[in-house]
Amino acid sequence: MAAIEMVNLTKHYKQGKNVIKALDGVNLKIESGEFVAVVGRSGSGKTTLLDLLGLLLRPTAGTVVIDGVDTSKLKDGDRATMRGESIGFIFQEFNLLPTLNALENVMLPLRYAKKDPQGPARARRLLDEVDLGDRVTHKPTELSGGQSQRVAIARSLVNNPALVLGDEPTGEVDSETSDQLLDLMRRMNREHGVTFVIVTHDMDIAQRADRIIRLKDGKVASDEPIAARELALS
Ligand code: ADP
Ligand code: MG
C-alpha cells in the first residue's frame, strides 16, 4: 500500500519564450488503499500529474513523497528501482508486446524488479484472477480489447506494487467493457490493498472512485471524497 504526498508539485515546460504551466503547485495527499480518479479537460495536466507520480518525469519544483520517501532526493537509478518494484502502470492502448502471449506479457515486469521466485506463479494466478486462466497462451491479436486490458491489469500487479497508475485505462473500450474493467480494478484495489490513481474523462467511471480530483490549468479545481458526495446527495 502506498500513501502519496504531493508537495507544491510543479511541472513547467519552456516553449520558446513561453512557459507552459502543465502542473502548478499541486498539494494533495492520497492515503494507502484509496481509489482515486483524476478528471479535467484535455490539457489540464492529468497525464503530467500521473507521470510525476510514476517517477517518469522529474518536477520543476516541489516533490512527490511515497511512503515517506522524498523521491526528488533519489538518484535516477533509485527512482527506476522504486518505479519497477513499487509502481504498476496501465495504459489506454494496453501496450502489450505483440510477440508475447498473455502469460509472458504479465511476467514482463518481473525482469525490472528484484528477482522473486514466486513471480511466475503469481503471474499465472493473476491471470486466473482477471478471469483469463483459459487465455494464457493467447497472443494480443487473439484477445479482445477488454481481455487485453485485463492482461494489462494483471501485469500491473505482478510485482506486488504499492501503487497502480492508469492513464485513461478504459479509454479504448465500449461502456459496458469499461464498467467491467472498473469492477475488476476496484476488486484488485480491495483484495490486494493497492492504491489506484486513474485518469479518466468519463464521469460514469470517475463516480465509482473513492474520490474525484479535478484539475484545471495545472491546478486542483476540486477534490471530492465520496463520503462528501454521498452527504451532498442525502
Ligand atoms: P492532459 O493529460 O490533461 O490532457 P497533459 O498533462 O498532457 O494534459 O498536458 C498539460 C499541458 O502541458 C498541456 O498544455 C500540454 O500541451 C503541455 N505539455 C505536456 N507535455 C509537454 C511537453 N513534453 N512539452 C511541452 N508541453 C507539454
Ligand atoms: Mg492526458
Q: Which residues line the pocket of ligand 1, CB cutoff 6 A?
A: 13, 15, 20, 22, 40, 42-48
* Helix spans in 193-234 (H): 203-206, 226-233
Name the 3-class secondary structure at 34: coil
Q: Which residue ranges make up each domain of the chain? A: 4-233
pLDDT tens-digit series, residues 83-134: 999 999 999 999 999 999 999 999 999 998 888 999 999 999 999 999 999 9
Quote the pTM value.
Answer: 0.94
Q: Which residues surround ligand 2, an ion (CB under 5 A)?
A: 46-47
Give the three cell numbers for residue 232: 451532498
Ligand nearest to the CA of 38: 1
Neighbours of 98 (CB within 10 A): 8
pLDDT tens-digit series, residues 44-57: 999 999 999 999 99
Residues 155 and 108 sit within 8 Å (Cβ to Cβ): yes
pLDDT of residue 231 exceeding 90, the answer is: no
Residue 17 carries which DSSP code? Answer: T
pLDDT averaged over every residue in the chain: 95
Residues 157 and 89 sit within 8 Å (Cβ to Cβ): no
Query: What's phi and psi for 21, nearest 5 deg?
Result: -90, 80
Ligand nearest to the CA of 166: 2
SS (H, E, C) 129-192: HCCCCCCCCCCHHHCCHHHHHHHHHHHHHCCCCCEEEEECCCCCCCHHHHHHHHHHHHHHHHHH
Residue 85: the pLDDT is 93
Sheet holding 61-66, edge to edge: 18-30, 4-15, 61-66, 69-70
Q: How far is the CA of 78 from the centre of ligand 1 (A)?
A: 26
Q: How far is the CA of 72 from the centre of ligand 2 (A)?
A: 23
| Domain 4-233, CATH | 3.40.50.300
Q: How far is the CA of 38 from the centre of ligand 1 (A)?
A: 15
